[in-house]
Each structure stands twice: as C-alpha cells, then as structure tokens.
Amino acid sequence: MIVTAKLGFSAAHRLHNPNFDAEWNRQKYDKCDNAGGHGHNYVIEVSVSGDIDPQTGMVIDLTKLKDIIRRELLDHVDHRNLNSDVPFLGGVIPTAENLAVSFWKRLSPAIDEGALCQIVLHETEKNSVVYRGE
C-alpha cells in the first residue's frame, strides 16, 4: 500500500556550475542561470509504502506525514534562496533532480511508520522529476 502527501513551497534558485564558464552555464541552464535569480512554485509529492496498521486502518497518518515534511523540509526551504539560505543544500546545484535527492536524505530517516518510497518534485506545471532512492 502506498500513501502520498502533496504540499507546495516557493523558493528562489540559480542554476550555475562554478567549475565551468559563463557560456557553458548559459547553454546548460538558460534562464535558470540568470544571475539575479528567480523563483518557482514547487509542488512535492511524498509517498510512503507499508502495511495497513490493523488498529488505525492507515499506513501512516497523513497529517503526521505532512507535519514531518513541513518540519524537515518546508520550514527550511519555503521563501528561501536555495543556493544560499539552506544549510543542507550547501554545495548542491539546485536542479529539481538534486533537490529530490537531498530531500530524500532528510525525509527518509524522519519517517518512522512505513518507508519513504518515492518523491515527485514538480518545478513547474510542465517539469517534474521522480526519485525512488538509490
């Protein structure tokens, strides 16, 4: 059984790899390399798999799961600059791919009922990534 909680946050980022020159970065990241930075309204879907607890009828209480997501992730990234304001993203180029991996590392140990099995991160309405762990 898989249950999913869906939440949103807004954050600014700039995609830029300092190991390469301006032209490489412009070609790779286009608008997301804008030095002024820009933001996205991200949507994250966190899925937990496990057995249904016969006493509660639930895999994990979704209210509790959302509290964990807020405490571990959203309180740290919402309305922040992902390049500079979030210690656990230090040194990470904040692409949706890298964010999903970093979010997995923070969330996985915090989920104590069932197991984290998938993170879907929507950067825009049209662009999203799916991460299922290593």
Interface with Zn ion (CB under 5 A)? 32
Specify whether the CB–CB gap between 82 and 11 falls below 8 A.
yes
Please report how close the Cβ of residue 20 comes to Zn ion at its closest, in angstroms: 18
As measured in angstroms, the least distance from the Cβ of 83 to Zn ion is 11
In the bound state with Zn ion, the residue whose beta carbon lies nearer, of 22 and 110, is 22
Based on CB atoms, which residue is closest to Zn ion, 13 or 76? 13
134 is catalytic: no
Which residue type, as a one-letter code, is found at position 68? Answer: I
Q: How far is the CB of 133 from Zn ion (least distance, A)?
A: 24
Active site residue 123: yes
Nearer of residues 6 and 29 to Zn ion, judged by Cβ: 29
Is the distance from CB of 39 to CB of 73 less than 8 angstroms? no
Query: Annotated catalytic, 23?
Result: no
Number of H helices, E strands in the chain: 4, 5
Maximum separation of any 2 CA atoms in the chain, in Å: 59
In the complex, residue closest to Zn ion by CB: 32
**H or E segment to which residue 62 belongs:** helix 62-69
Instruction: Yes or no: say if 17 and 93 are a contact pair by the CB < 8 Å rule.
Output: yes
**Is 11 or 59 the residue whose CB approaches Zn ion more closely?**
11
Residue 73: CB minimum distance to Zn ion, A: 18
Catalytic residue among 16, 40, 122, 123: 123
- Find the catalytic residue in 13, 32, 40, 122: 32
- R_g over Cα of the chain: 16
- Report the C-alpha gap between 67 and 92 in whole angstroms: 25
Q: Which residues are catalytic?
A: 32, 79, 123
